[in-house]
Amino acid sequence: MSVPIGGTWLCDLGNSRAKLARLELGAPVDVVALDWAQPDFAARVRTVVAAWPRPRRVLVASVAADARAGQLRELLAVDPAVEFEFLRSPRTACGVRNRYAKPERLGIDRFLSMVAVHARTTGAGIVIGCGTALTLDAVAGDGAHAAGLIALSPGRMLEALRGATSIADTNPDAFAAGTVDDTAAALHAGCWAAAGATVEWFAARQRAALGAAPVWLHGGWAAPLAAWLARDGFEAEVFDHAVLHGLASWCDRP
């Protein structure tokens, strides 16, 4: 039986995970997120795409190491005639204007998440990515990238503390997940509070310049960050698969 051909596959390759999806009716569907480190990564990728119609086009937004991006390309096993494009951040696309001196140096994940948020808002928007890194960007109502910061995510803060201190030597349970321990509680609270305070400060600063602007969170740690912020009454909306939605918008860009 012949395999149907057509459509577009979308790939969001992060530092910790790879997300795969199909484009259907202008949106990502059948989204699958896989950790690079999981032992059955290759088998899972092959199983997922074997059930999909073969594409005419594959769009990839990658901030992963080149070796991992190359690995995924091999696993997708698409025909050489298929248009396979690794995107780089442009000067302008989809109504968003990149103000970096060298536009390609703005992470494509950040650019596409701003594209996705800009498409959903009528004014300015604040875009927070919480995965391996904590990224904070503001996009003005006219689509200009107004400001951007990069910091450690809470998980990476914990890893940094573990590697740079002797805490684990004297308290081996301090970094264990789910541990009920005074030091563990202090470590986790400190890292999440640092991330939350950074988000609140950034949002306040950007709202002073841009006016009212909703905060959108995306990435693997977006939901717990939203819950932490909500403890102080700070409102933020989780935008699942924002980069994939940005890729979907890219497909229809003028």
Contact between residue 196 and residue 203 where contact means Cβ atoms under 8 Å apart: no
Question: Exactly one of 109, 169, 173, 232 is catalytic; which is it?
Answer: 109
Cα–Cα distance, 85 to 91 (Å, whole number) = 17
User: How many angstroms separate the CA atoms of 217 and 225, rounded?
Assistant: 8
Element spanning 155, H or E: helix 154-164
Distance of alpha carbon 42 from alpha carbon 17, whole angstroms: 13
As separate numbers, helices (DSSP H) first and strands (DSSP E) second, the chain gives 8, 12
109 is a catalytic site residue: yes
The token pair at 165 is 């201190």
Instruction: Give bridge partners of residue 28 from the DSSP assignment.
Output: 23
Q: Which amino acid is at 205?
A: R
Structure tokens at 166: 């002797």
Residues paired with residue 126 on neighbouring β-strands, in sequence order: 138, 215
Structure tokens at 80: 């050489």
Question: Which residues are tagged catalytic?
Answer: 109
